[in-house]
Each structure stands twice: as structure tokens, then as C-alpha cells.
Structure 1
Amino acid sequence: MMRFILLLSFFLFLFQDTCFSIEIENRDIKHNVSAKTITITVPDKKTSITIDYSNGCVIKQLSLNGKNTLSPSGVYTGIRTSNATFSSADDNKHITLTKNANGITLSGISYGNGTISVKEVWDFKLNGNKIIWDITRDYNNAASLEDMAFPKWNFTDLSVWKGGIMDNGGMVWCKYLKQVNDTYGVHTGGVTFWNTESGDALRITAKTDKGKEIASKYSHSEKNEFTCTQLVTDTQLKQRYDLSRFVSGKADVFAPFEVKKGKLKVSFELQYVDYNREYSRGTLAGIDAVAVRELLNTTGRYGVVDNNIIGANGWLTNWKCLHEPFFAQIGMAVNDPNYTNNMSATLDQERDQAMLGDGRVLSRWHNAAGDEIPGTYNSKTGYYEAMWGYTIDSQTGYVINTSEQFDLNGNVDWLRSHQLSVEKALDWLIKRDSNNNGIFEMMNDGIADKKASDWLDIVWASFENSFVNAQMYEALTLWSKCERILGNQQKSDHYLAIASRLKTAFNKPVEEGGFWSAAKQQYVYWRDKDGSVHGDNLVTPVNFAAIAFGICDDPKRIALILDQIEYRSKAENLFHWPLCFDSFKREEVSEGNWPFPKYENGDIFPTWGYLGIRAYAKYDKAIALKYINNLLDQYKKDGLSSQRYSRTTQLGLGDDILAGISTSITALYRDIYGVRPKWNRMGLEPNMSSTLNGTKFSYTNRNTVYNLELSVNNYLMRTNGFSIKSKESFGANKAGNILTYYPHNDDVMLLQINSASNRSINMEINSWDANAYSWTVTSPDKYLFTIKGLAPGKKYELAINGVAKHFTSKNDGSFSIEHTCKSTTKFAVK
């Protein structure tokens, strides 16, 4: 009997030693001692990892919703010298496991050789439904390395994820790592990988020691895996091949680097994300919300090349055109603070590196020389002038993007840091009016120069270019408001006066030096220095820009242009607008544009779609919505993974993918839903159609979540601090207990409501016109109401629930009154 008990005890000991669980606040960490594996599962069971330390140390499985995402290679750390590769997966029998406060620690991980060896400690902890993985690395010596894995994630293949949204606002699109060793490298560490079909997403949040740099590269491995590799260094990594962020057929994208003797640490949070919920676009009545989400998370983000480089040509071709004015608008629609922050930094870099001393803004950034006017390429920065000609819309593009970016970041100090450079950029172009007619001139005189002057870079638009001048009008108008905010009213008035003169000159008939062709019922494209007029072939970005930017506000002209464009589009059954409807003359374009329709001479370039949507939104919303839906349908067919579309087949063409191809959808948010953030408030200026009634979505502006509900003449904006319902456009902001309402989202008047408590302030605007202002408060509290922008010293009548009293506005045009609202209370001022 005693012998049986001893044997039973022995076998129970063996079993206990083979598999036991560590229960930490109901969170499960299972250790199989004999197999030397640890499985860590978060409480909601959405995420689990299995670590194998039987022969080296590797994360062998990373499961989301019960499905493993890793290849047999798993996740490991390592280094590569000039002649050898070492990793945590190398044979190592001396790894030990200990418990820590909330998890486990693996120590004794070592690899390397006599020249450089590495010791690592891996700490795993559970924090809610997140797995925290800390890696502490100790180099025994300083060394030069070719590469490192800190760590390297080896996913099964390129179909596991559609892509990854990076914490600089950009994205890696897995399908474009087509060939083995195609690699994309960026200077940021965090990423959210997602699978559209399952809705599963993995968020990897990366944190390093202060003063250290983190970078990541994404690649198509020789085993056909999709890999993500993080690198942590003392200084920012440089590119191995020129300034290339993407390299084809090469696993190395970063140049060799030095590591120092000693320790450094990186921490990763692994978290399951419900992609459909986290990135939901809400309820978009009459619009495919899933297509909107996917288009903005792929095509819209694709233009982020790296930190400080946001463009539209994107990372595959390593290109960014500064002569494009819509990057801030794309950020408004993407609605990711990482994109917004990166766009601010991009404009900072362009101010510092792409602007010449006289105010000229260089037109492009590229990874290598070859596309430049000789002598203009800067191999250190990548900025240069395009070989096709001086594209002058880089001046206007910088100003427009800076002005609109300020509305997103709301940072007055940031705006002030751009004040002198924007003024220099504007003044550079303002000086280019040799005949003093109010129209600003390009640097080429005529088509005989065979040079471009704007985005259509192989069309020889010259001298007085209407497309650039329409953008100049927008730039002057936007920047004049910024000057006023910065306290320089004189400069503000100066730029407005120049814009007004330009508008007058622009709208004159071609016979009188303007751009309006009564014969063709359209704005022509350009006038050579010899007075000859060119581009009366219904060039869409030219005519759309004139209307969208407001330099043309004549209702008759607007109707003539837009009716004509829609008639021509319907006649050809085009899903989107071509660059021009009729052919340029042979001598007006590069040979690559011939015969018509071909390339910039007649093909479909959706990049300028936002101008068309903006132009049609106030003229015929049904037409604007038709082309928005057409573009979403096209995305579902081919991912909008093209530079342009053939006019004849309407199939995608061109190796270059353009992020600007998403702008018709950014215009959905700006010009249909009316999302108009301002530097000091959230704004709504909708142009809704009945087919869109019931639209509901949330929008985050500078850390405040705004819940928006939109129908025709019925707009609701709600946050945790207030709710405003209105039939008309408005803006609002709450700071502390003060809610500020901006009628029509303008700065002419405002209503401030200061509540005695911190409860939500809920109100409805009944009317707000020149003679009567009326609102209803539905939340009980004691309030101080202040109206600013009234006529100074004028008598008004105030009625509260129909009981009237009279007051006289102050000399500054303001009026204040205290009132305790015990129930729904209506206020009316007239």
C-alpha cells in the first residue's frame, strides 16, 4: 500500500511539472514544462500567443479569434552583421522562466559571436485585453550592423492582412509587395493590421526608450510570408538606396547602422481590434459606408510616403508632388490624428527644405535624381524642380494646404511659424504680373517653349494660366483669414484686395484679356505672351476650379459650364470626368498625349474629382452624388489602384497609383456632409439630399468626438458636453462650462452660453438671420447668455418664452443676460 501511494505521488508530481497554469486576476497563462511552451490568452479570448523556448526562443503562434496568423517562422529577434545572421531562434538551452507580477519573464536568451553578442530578457504581462511584451537587449560591444529584428513578425502569407495602418497616418498595402523581397520601410513603429473579410485586426503599439529611434519595414519574404520587422537604434536610420522608402526585390531598405555597447528596451502592446467597429464610418444613408472606409484606409492613406512626406503619388514610386492642394482635405476625411500630425510636420519640412530664399516652392520630392531640371535636385532632401517645367501651382498648393491644415490642428503657434514663408510664397507669385493686368504669370511664355506650368505636366500651358490663377484666388482668400487670426488685419486686407482684382480680371472675356469664352461657354486654359488663347477644349479642372474656388460666382456661367459637362459625360457614359472633353492641338501637348484621347489629353483622372463635387454640390446635388457613388463602385471593382482611366475602355492605366484619386470621397465629407472643422471649433455646412436622410457618424476633432446626425435642413451635433440642433449651417465649441455657437460657421456673430454647472448644454436653433435670432434651451441650469456681433448701441427686443423686454447693445456690439432655465426655454432677439 505504501509503495502504491509513493508511486501515485511520483506520477502526480510529474504531471504537475509537465503542465500548470498561473492564474492572475482571472487571466490565463499556461506553461507546458516538458514542451517548454507558454500560452498567454487575454480575458476576452480574442488574442493569444504561444512562446516556444525549447530550442531558442520564438513566438510560434499569434491567434486572433482562434485563428493563427503566423507562419512556422513565428516572431523572433535578431541581428545581421556583414557576414553572419543571429537570432533568438538559434539553439539555446539556457533560457529560464520566472514569474513576474502580472506574467512571466524569459531570460538567458543569447545569440551572436565573438565580435558582437546579444543577451535579451523578454517580459510578458497582461493588461486588460492587451498583451505587453517588453524586450530588453544588451549588446556586449559596439558594432556596425546590416540589419536587425527587434523583433520580426512572420505572418503566413500576404493574404492574412489586407494592409496595415501605421501610426504616422500611412498604410502598407500588402498586395503591392508583389515580388519576393519587395520591401517598404518607414520611420515609425506602431501598426494596425486588418483583414476586411473577417473584420479581425491586430494592433501593435510600439514604445522605445527616450531618445531612441524606431523604424519598421514590411516585406514579401522568400517563403512568401508577409513580414514586419522593427528596428530600434540610437539615431534615425538612413535609406540604403538613395532616398527610397520602397525597393523592389531587395530585403534591405535601410542603410547599415551602428549600435552601442549596453542596454536598450522596446515595449509592444498586442491587442485585438474589431476593425468593423473601430474604423466604422457610421450609417451613411444612400452611400456604401464600407467602400468609403476601405477607400480612405487604402488609397487615401497610400500617399503617406514616410514621416514628413505626405503626397499623392505614394510610396511605391517614392514620389510626392508639392503642386497639389488637397492633402489637408484628405486628412480631414481620413480623420486620423496621426495623419494630421504628420501633415503638419510635412509642411514644416517643406517650409524648411523645399522653399528657396526668394519664396519659390520647389515642386517635387523623389527618392532619386532623373526627373529634374538639371541642377535642381537636392540629393540630401529629395526636393527639386520637375523636368517638365516650373509648375507654379506648388506656390498655391503650399498656401492652400497650410491654411486648411491650420483648421485641422488648431495650433496658432504652428500657423505663425509658417506666416513669413506663406507670405514669401504668395509674394513670389504676386510679383509675376509684368503687364499689370491682375493675372499672375508662369515662367514659360508660350507653347513653343514646350514646357509645363502646372499639374498637367505634359501640356504646354503657358504665361497666363487660368488653372493656377484660380488656385491663387483660393490661396489668397484662405490666407487672408489666417492673417486676420494672426492679428495682421492690414495684410489680410492686402491679400483680399489682390484676390478681388484677380477675380475681376479672370472673369473678363478672352477678347478683353480675361479667360471667359462666350463662344465656347467655358473658361479657357491659358493665354501665351503673344496674346494667343489656348485650351478651349472644355478642360474640366480649369472650369471646376473656377466654380469650386469661387472665382466664378455668376449663376448663368456656372449653369452653362456644368450643364455642358454633364451632357458630354452622359453622352459617353463616363463614370468620372476626363481632364478635357475635346482634344488639345498637337503643338499644345507632349507627343505622349497623342492621338486623342490619350493620357492628359482626354483620359479620366479622378484626382481632381473633389473640384467637380464641390462645383456640383450647390448646383445639382444629385449629379455630385452620382459621381461619388460611381467612384465607390469603381473602388469595389479595382481598388482605384491606377493613375488614371482610359477614356475609351474606362479601365485603369498607369503604373503610378495616385492617392489623390480618393478626393471625390473627401469631398463627400466636406461638400455634402459639410464637415468643416475650424481652428477654434467644429463646423457643419451640409448640402444634404433626401436620399441621404438619416446619415449618422462620429467625427473626432482635436480629441473631441462629435456625433453628427444629418438630414435635409436638420442637423444635429452632439458631444459629451453639448447638443445643438439646427436647420442651418453652424459651428460650435465647448471649453469648460462655456459653449460657443457660431451661426453659419462664420465669425461675424456668436452666441456664448456659460452654465453654472458642468452638465451638458442642449439647445436648438430656431432661426438666425439678419433681423431675428432665436434659440431654445432644453437643459435645466443657470446660464449667462452673451451675443457678440450685434450693431453697436442699437435697441433690441429680447423675448423669453414670449415675455419681452428691451435692451441696448454695448459699444462693442455685445449683450449679456443671466437666466435660470427650469424647463424648456425659448429665447428670441429682434
Structure 2
Amino acid sequence: MTFKAPLFAFLILLYAFQPAHAAEKAVPGIINNTTAKEITISTPDKNLSIVIDYSTGCVVKKLSIKGKNVLSASGIYTGLRIGGDKFSSAEVLNNIKVTNNTQDITLSNISYTAGVKETWGFKLNGDKIVWNITRDYATDLHLEDMAFPKWNFANLNVWKGGIIDNGGMVWCKYLKEVNDTYGVHTGGITFWNAETGNGLRIAPHIANGKSIASAYSHSPAKEFTFTQLLTDAPLKQRYNLNRFVAQKADVFAPFDIKKGTATVSYELQYIDYGKEYSKGELPGIDATVVRELMNTTGRYGVVDNTIVGANGWLTNWKCLHEPFFAQIGMALNDSNYTANMASNLNRERDVAMLPDGRILSRWHNEAGDEIPGTYNAETGYYEAMWGYTIDSQTGYVINASEQFDLTGDVEWLRTHQSSCEKALDWLITRDSNNNGLVEMMNNNIAEKKASDWLDIVWASFENSFVNAQLYEALTLWTNCESILGNKEKAKYYAAVAQRLKTAFNKPVEQGGFWLASKQQYVYWRDNDGSVHGDNLVTPINFAAIAFGLCDDADRKALILDQIEKRADAEHLFHWPLCFDSFRKEEVSGGNWPFPKYENGDIFPTWGYLGIRAYAQYDKAIALKYISNLIEQYKKDGLSSQRYSRTTQLGLGDDILAGICTSITALYRDIYGIRPKWNRMGLEPNLLAKLNGTEFKYKHLGTLYTLNLSVNNYVMRSNGFTISSKAVFGANKTGNTLSYYPNNAELAVLKITATTKKAIDVKIIEPASSTLSWSINSADTYQITLQGLQPASAYTVLINNRAQNVKTDTKGSFSIKITCKGATHFVVKRL
């Protein structure tokens, strides 16, 4: 066939004016402009796109979030450093080979130093861009540094921070100086900008046997950089055990790479930050502040993998004598934090516990804060120079017990059984006068040593704060021993706890801690019998109530009314450590003149004890201080160690993640979030202004929607709905829904459906003497009641039609019924 001249000319012109890259559009969303030597890859929703420049090297020169490029001119590239020589994929002189495949596009022949070659592959997977990097090493190498790759963002303001996949976070504003660098042993991150609501998730997938690490830094070009390193073995720190180094670009020590191939795959995904990290509908509470506080201060205490604390990565510190790390995990509801917390406790068990059961009290990146001879340069654990702060014993047990409730991992708990027993027994045996109260390792104030978290207050001998925490540890661990099947140990620890409680509540004249003349619990008693700390020390008095030591209603009122009156008179936004001054001889000179530091300043770290105490007594006061903390966050971000009593301005170089604990108490003690090892629990203390609270919570693999109003608590999942006016716990396994009145350990009611349909139940009366409920879903059910009187007669009313049943020798009975509509049940003992 021949073309006529005019038609042929037209076709030639038509082809000439087509875009140069048109023929290269091999995969939807991937465009290769061979003239410009640029590849543009965009997700179908256009929320995320990248541009790869392979004209003079190989570099991702643009990464756009909703059309806005967030990278600096340096872009994203790979590379390595050998000695003083740097090599980068951005400076490759040889030709890059581009191959368009049916599903992806590949760039190969990326060679930027002798013996090192790379291949980059890109593809789309739904709303994700997948970037595969394969690097071949022709020989063994000793490297100073590596970029696998290095992401260069425009500046420190592109992101507020990044949520790391070990549950921690990098806070961009704290990389203040050039080359300030923070390094961690993991590679996944979700960066976010709170103002725009935009987020970028980078999720790595690596082959078994390889290790990934990341460094976050402030570059000389004022960029915010994120460098990932893929190595044959976990990296060591360059400077002592520092995860953060000031004004030094290198955080990791040099390392060896063996001849062979290293491959990593990164999934890049746009994240709607507000949606992904939503706290739900929180009437009366600023949900945005709650989210930001927990994602910054609340996560900041994670120093690295297996190092979870409260002092955080800027100072490279953590204190084991803090019992609220698992509680922070409860509020964060982040499986990455929870998993890291489990590993952290494993690490404490394995390297921070001495053979006799004593648990070292601190971790730090270098020596200098320790009792001479106690610092382990390899592990970082040691005894604090201020004294033997033996609430590390109780902190470990409390955290382990509460961590178990978050995971339900009985086998994990079993690996901590012996160590928790050793930790408790080490402390229990410290009762030389056999009065039920354990004693510290310092005897009196003349020694000028500390014994607990207030480490420059010379609390000695019989310390009420440590004893109160021991009571909480014993109470929690008693339940763990029961679950593990050791009834004798459970009985023993319960008896020790009861004896401690009795002694604790005795008047000071009889060896206890209650000082009737001042209507408060005192702090400690020296071995000469002298009483100290009668200056209304708040953590001690709050702990006595919060942990259940003080169950006398009159005493509670005397303490809490007094504290509220005094805090209100000073217009304090939160509680100070003490209201009146210690005596000079009772504290370090750094606490003088009053109010100063641990002698009267405001430490919100212990706020959860105050919230828990007031939630039992006056919910409005509890909520007031939660609201105060939220307002304070709006002023300064709550990134301080403490607050001045006189100015109420933030003080201290250290940032304490524990400042978030009043918000963790919002979840635990106001919303009543009480996840348990085998169920989800709800124990709210709500006010009417919070009615209509609704948020999602994931526990043991089930996503719950919780709707909370006064005397109306609703728990929903894909498998069931339970509504109740009283506190409860529930879970569904297979087709069986279990209901736990009062969120206690026994599932009194079990409803097993014939089909997999969701079960809808309303609890009308939860009392075991008269239990009533309605089933509002249609199905055939087997209903089992347990925990009743053994071998006893009961009547069951089903829509007011009675039938009599008899429990077996274990106090159980079952009936089977088909419900075609709303069916009402009442069970009474005859």
C-alpha cells in the first residue's frame, strides 16, 4: 500500500508534535520522558508523586505531597562513605539503563564506585509507590557511613516530626543545631505536618539476616535529612551509647559490609494524618491536643529499640524507677510501641537485673551519673549516684503486669514470672523489724542519699512512696500469678499486700504513715523513729488513694479537699510535688530556697496519680486538671522537665515523657479504657459534658468502637455490640460472646451463636443475684451462666416466661433458645 503525499505529510507532522515521552508510558501512572531523562510516578489519587532524574546520575529530585514538593535540591539518593571519600548515585557518570516492564520500571547500571552497582525498581501498588533498591558489592568493604537511601527534605519545618515504627518519634524542632543527629535501629517512619494534615509513610521490607537503621539530622544546608542504612549486623554507636549526638553528623560507628547483594523495598504512601491518627469525637476535650501531646511528648521517651523510658533521646536517659510506661502504651494504642515495650522489659530482665533480684535503676549513654563501679559500658545500666532508688523493683513489676494486659501473651508473661518474683522478694525481705513495711537501703537523712524517684530528697528507711508502689505491684502481680496457675504464690503476695496496707494506714505514733494532726500521709520514717515529709507531698498522698491503700472515705476527703483548696488558692494549673517546704537537712541544696525543683515545683509526671485519686472522689476536679494540662500544651507544647511553682513556666533541659500521664489517665480513669489480657474492659467515670464521646480502640487484634455517655456505655466490634449502664468487659472468640460483669476475671455470661452473625446484647441488670439482659439480634443461641451458687435452683425468665434450672457442681448451667426478635432474659436464684 502506498500513501498519497498529503496524507503521508499529515501523519509525519502528527507524529512530530506528539510529546517526546508519549511512547514511553508503559504503565499507568509511570511516565518516562526519555528526552529530559526523567521518570514521573504518581499514585492514582494524585496525593503522592515522585520524579526520578537519571540525566547525570540517579536521584529522586521531587517528592510531592498533594502537588507540593517537600524535598530540597539535593533530593533522595543512595551512596556510601569509605574513609574520607563520599560516593553518591547522584553523581554517576556512566549511562543509566532504563527498562519499561509491564508492571514496573527499572533503572540499572548505577555504579558510583569500584565494585558497587545498584538497580532501582519502581512500581505502583494501589495508593503506594514501591521502590526496590538492590545493591551488589563486588568485594568486602569497611564503611564510615551509608545512604540506602538518604532523604533530604527542604527544611526542619516540612514535618513536625515522625512516628517511628518502634513506637517512638523524632521531633524536628529538637534537631536545633547543624548536624544534630538522632539514630535508631529501625527504618520505618510516618512523617506528619499537623497544620496541613499531610503525612508520608515510608515502610521498609528487608531480607532476613539484614539489619536496618536510621539517622535523622539537621544538615549544613539547613535541610532535615533522613538516612537509612542496611547492614549485615546491627550497628553500634559511634560515641558511647549515644542515640542523639549534638552537632555531629555521624551517630553510628564504622561497620563492615561483606561481598554480596543487599536488597530493600520501600513502600511510600500518603497519609491523611488527621484521619489515620484520629482520637475520635471527644466532647469537652480538645482531641487535637490529645493527639499531638501523645504523638510528641508521649512517644519521646522511646530512645531506641529495647530502650523505652521517659527522659528520652535528647539526653539519652531512662529511669527504670517509673511505673507508667505500659500505661502510656495503653493510651497510645500503637502496636509498635507495645511490641517495643515488651522487648524493653525483656532487656531489663536480662541485663538490668542482678542475680539477687535487685534491678538497676537507670540507663544512660555514658558514665558519670552512677554510684562508682555500677555503670556497665556495654549495656548502659547502673545505680544512680544519688542513692539506691529501689522503686525500680516496683516499676518493673507494675510495667510487666500492665504490659501483659495489653498483649494477652501468657507465654511472654511466663518468661517474666521468675524475674518478677525475684524483684518482689528482694524488696519484701527488706523488713528488718517485721512490721509489714519494707525498708530502703539508706537509714536516715544524715546519709544524704535518696531512695526513690525524688532523687535529691533524702527519703530514708521506711518510705511511704515506695511502699505504696509495692502495694500496687503486689496487687497486680497477684492476679498474674493466678492467671499463670500458681495459686499459692498468688495467695502469698495477696497476704503480703494486706499486711502492708494495714501497717501503712496506722497512725505515725503506731509505726504507720497517717498523721492525723495534719490530715495527710507522711513521706518517710528514719531508723531512729523520726518522721519526715509532713509537708503535704502530693505523689505520696495521691498514691495512697489511687492504689487503694487508703479506702477510708473520711481520710480521702481530708486529703483531697485540702490539696484542692491549696492548689486553687495559688491558681496552679497542676499539682506541685509538695505544698510546704521540706526542712533544709531533708533535701539537697539544689532544692533551696522553697519552692524550687523537687522541693515545691510542679512535676506533671505524677499527674496520673492525682487524676486517678480524684476520679474516685470528684470527677469534676479530675477533669479540671486534665483540661488545665491541655491548655498548657497550647501555650508551650509541654516539652519541659517541670514547671516553676511561682511563674508556672517550663523549666529544665530534660523533657519528661511522663508529662503526658494526665492524658493517659483521661483514657484509663475517665473514659475507663481497661484492656485486659483476655477481654476489652470499660470502667468509665464520666461527666455529662463528656456525653457522646466516641473513638476506636484496637485490642488483641479486634477493633472496637466505644461510645460513652453517663450510665450508657457501648462497645462495638464486627462481631458484637454490648451496651450497659455499668462497667464491664467483653470479648468474642469464634461465635461465642463472653460478658464480664465489673470487668472482673470471670465471664459470668456466655452467648454462643449458631451462625457468624453479630450478636447484639443490652445488659439491664449486672448483679449476679439478679442478672438480666436482652438479645436484640436474631439467631439460635446457647446461653451459659457461670459463677453462680453450685448445685442450686434458679429461675430463668425469657420474655416473662419462666423455666427452672439447676446449676452443676461448678455453679453453671446452659440453655438453648432461638431469638427471632428482641428477647429479654432474667436469671434469679430461687
Give the TM-score of the pair, scaled to structure 1.
Answer: 0.98
1:257-272 equivalences under 5 Å are: 257-272=255-270
Q: Distance in 1 between matches of 2:394 and 2:557?
A: 27
CA separation in 2, counterparts of 1:24 and 1:803?
Answer: 71
Equivalent position of 2:170 in the other structure: 172
Q: What is the distance in 1 between the residues matched to 2:315 and 2:112?
A: 37
1:298 maps to 2:305 = no
Deviation at 1:24, TM superposition (A): 6.5
> 1:18: how far off?
2.1
Matched residue, 1:461: 459
| 1:211-226 alignment runs, 5 A limit | 211-226=209-224
| Letter of the 1:593 counterpart | N
Give the fraction of aligned pairs with identical amino acids, expressed as a percent: 69
Q: Give distance in 2, aligned partners of 1:166 and 1:683.
A: 28
Q: Which amino acid aligns with 1:40?
A: I
- Offset of 1:260 from its aligned partner? 1.0
| Counterpart check, 1:450 vs 2:448 | yes
8 Å contact from structure 2 (residues 24, 33) kept in 1: no
1:440 corresponds in structure 2 to 438
2:58 equivalent in structure 1: 57
Cα displacement (A) at 1:99: 1.1
| Deviation at residue 636 of structure 1 after TM alignment | 1.2
How much does 1:228 deviate?
0.4
Aligned residue in 2 for 1:112: 113
Contact 2:92–2:110 at 8 Å: present in 1 too? no
Query: What is the distance in 2 between the residues matched to 1:175 and 1:119?
Result: 36
- Residue 588 of structure 1 is matched in structure 2 by 586
| Number of the residue aligned with 1:18 | 20
Look up the match of 2:285: 287
How many angstroms apart in 1 are the aligned matches of 2:249 and 2:345?
A: 31
Q: Does residue 98 in structure 1 map to residue 99 in structure 2? A: yes
| Residue 187 of structure 2: aligned partner | 189
CA contact (8 A) 1:155 1:226 kept: yes
The partner residue of 2:316 within 318, 342, 345 is 318
Aligned residue type for 2:299: R
Matches within 5 A, 1:704-719: 704-719=702-717
| Residue type at the aligned position of 2:39 | I
Residue equivalent to 2:572: 574
Structure 1 residue matching 2:22: 3-state secondary structure: strand
After superposition, the C-alpha distances for 1:541-581 in whole angstroms (9 at most, x for unaligned) are 00000000001111000000000000000000000000000
Counterpart residue type for residue 777 of structure 2? S
Amino acid at match of 1:193: F
Cα distance, 1:378 vs. partner? 0.3
Distance in 1 (alpha carbons) for counterparts of 2:433 and 2:92 = 79
The alignment partner of 2:95 has SS state of coil
Q: 1:749–1:790: 8 Å Cα contact kept in structure 2? A: no
- What is the match of residue 32 of structure 2? 31
Aligned CA RMSD, in angstroms, stands at: 1.3
Closer, same or farther: CA 682–112 of 1 in aligned 2, 3 Å: same
- Structure 2 counterpart of 1:496, from 463, 477, 494: 494
Distance in 1 between residues matched to 2:582 and 2:55, nearest whole Å: 71
Partner deviation per Cα, 1:307-345 (whole Å, 9 max, x = no partner): 001000000000010000000000000000000000000
1:510/1:250 CA distance change after superposition, 3 Å:
same
Structure 2: distance between partners of 1:19 and 1:566: 72
Structure 1 pair 232/11, CA: closer, same or farther in 2 (3 Å)? farther
Residue 196 of structure 2 corresponds to residue 198 of structure 1? yes
Give the letter for the 1:511 counterpart: E
In 1, distance between residues paired with 2:7 and 2:26? 32
1:756-803 deviation digits (Å, cap 9, x = unpaired)? 000001100000114200010000000000011001011111000000
Go from structure 1 to structure 2 and tell me whether the alpha carbon gap of 1:527 and 1:21 turns closer, same or farther (over 3 Å shift).
Answer: farther
Q: Any residues of structure 2 matched to 1:407-556 within 5 Å, and which?
A: 407-556=405-554
Structure 1 residues 6 and 94, CA, compared in 2 at 3 Å: closer, same or farther? farther
Displacement after TM superposition at 1:103 (Å): 2.0
What SS does the aligned partner of 2:617 have? coil
SS of residue matched to 1:429: helix
Paired residues, what number? Answer: 826
Q: Contact 1:340–1:408 (CA<8 Å) still a contact in 2?
A: yes
1:558 match: 556
1:85 matched to which residue of 2? 86
1:50-83 C-alpha deviation (Å, 9 max, x unpaired): 0000010000100011111000000000000112
How far residue 16 of structure 1 moved from its aligned partner, in angstroms, is: 4.9
Quote the residue 1:623 is aligned against.
621
Preserved CA contact (<8 Å) 2:29 2:44 = yes
Higher mean C-alpha deviation, range 3-12 or range 494-503: 3-12
Matching residue's letter, 1:423: E
Gaps spanning 5+ residues in structure 1: where?
A: none
Distance in 2 (CA, whole Å) between partners of 1:379 and 1:14 is 70
**What amino acid maps onto 2:21 in structure 1?**
C
Amino acid at match of 2:88: S
The structure-2 alpha-carbon separation of the partners of 1:223 and 1:234, relative to structure 1 and needing over 3 Å to count, comes to same
Q: Distance in 2 between matches of 1:340 and 1:21?
A: 50
Distance (Å, rounded) in 2 between the aligned partners of 1:458 and 1:12: 84
Kindly indicate whether the alpha-carbon contact (under 8 Å) linking 2:738 and 2:750 is maintained by their aligned counterparts in 1: yes
Pairing partner for 1:309 from 304, 307, 310: 307
For residues 614 and 126 of structure 1, the distance between their equivalents in structure 2, rounded to whole angstroms, comes to 49
The answer to whether the aligner puts 1:814 opposite 2:812 as a matched pair is yes
Using a 3 Å threshold, how does the CA distance of structure 1 residues 17 and 748 change in structure 2: closer, same or farther?
closer
Residues of 2 paired with 1:808 and 1:766: CA distance? 23
**Shift of the alpha carbon at 1:808?**
1.2
Report deviation, 1:538.
Answer: 0.3
Match of 2:73 in 1: 72
Residue of structure 1 equivalent to 2:642? 644
Give distance in 1, aligned partners of 2:84 and 2:301.
36
Distance in 1 separating the partners of 2:146 and 2:16: 40
Letter of the 1:350 partner, please give it: E
CA contact (8 A) 2:708 2:714 kept: yes
Please list every run of at least 4 consecutive aligned residues from structure 1 whose deviation after the TM superposition is greater than 4 angstroms: 1-17, 21-25
- C-alpha contact 2:92 2:111 (8 A) present in aligned 1: no
SS of residue paired to 1:329: helix
1:141-152 superposed matches below 5 A: 141-152=139-150
Cα shift at 1:806: 1.0
Task: Map 1:344-363 onto structure 2 (within 5 A).
Answer: 344-363=342-361
Cα distance, 1:438–1:237 mapped onto 2, change above 3 Å? same
Q: CA deviation at 1:4?
A: 7.7
- Residue in structure 2 matched with residue 632 of structure 1 by the alignment: 630
Q: CA deviation at 1:373?
A: 0.2
Alignment-derived partner of residue 131 in structure 2 = 133
- 3-state SS of paired residue (2:105): strand
The DSSP-based 3-state class of the residue aligned with 1:18 is: coil
Q: What are the Cα deviations for residues 619-645 of structure 1, in whole angstroms up to 9, with x where unaligned? A: 000000010011011111111110000
Q: CA deviation at 1:618?
A: 1.3
User: How do 1:237-252 and structure 2 match up within 5 A?
Assistant: 237-252=235-250
Correspondence for 2:786 among 785, 788, 792: 788
- CA deviations 1:198-243 (Å, max 9, x no partner) are 0000000011111100000100000000000000001000000000
Q: SS where residue 625 of structure 1 aligns? A: helix
2:260, 2:4 → 1: CA distance? 57
CA distance in 1, matches of 2:345, 2:761: 39
Could you tell me how far 1:6 is from its partner in structure 2?
A: 7.2
- Whether 1:672 and 2:670 are equivalent positions in the alignment is yes
- 2: distance between equivalents of 1:792 and 1:45? 65
Q: Distance in 2 between matches of 1:726 and 1:560?
A: 33
Of 684, 691, 695, 1:697 maps to 695
Which residue of structure 2 aligns with residue 336 of structure 1? Answer: 334
Tell me the alpha carbon deviations over residues 109-161 of structure 1, each in whole angstroms, 9 at most, x when there is no partner. 11014xxx311100000000100000000011101000000000000000000
Offset at residue 13 of structure 1 (A): 5.2
CA distance in 2, matches of 1:100, 1:265: 19
1:170 alignment partner AA: G
Distance 1:9 1:242 in 2: 71
Change in CA separation of 1:140 and 1:8 when aligned onto 2, cut-off 3 Å: farther
**Equivalent pair of 1:98/1:104 in contact (CA under 8 Å):** yes
1:631 and 1:67 mapped to 2: Cα distance?
A: 35
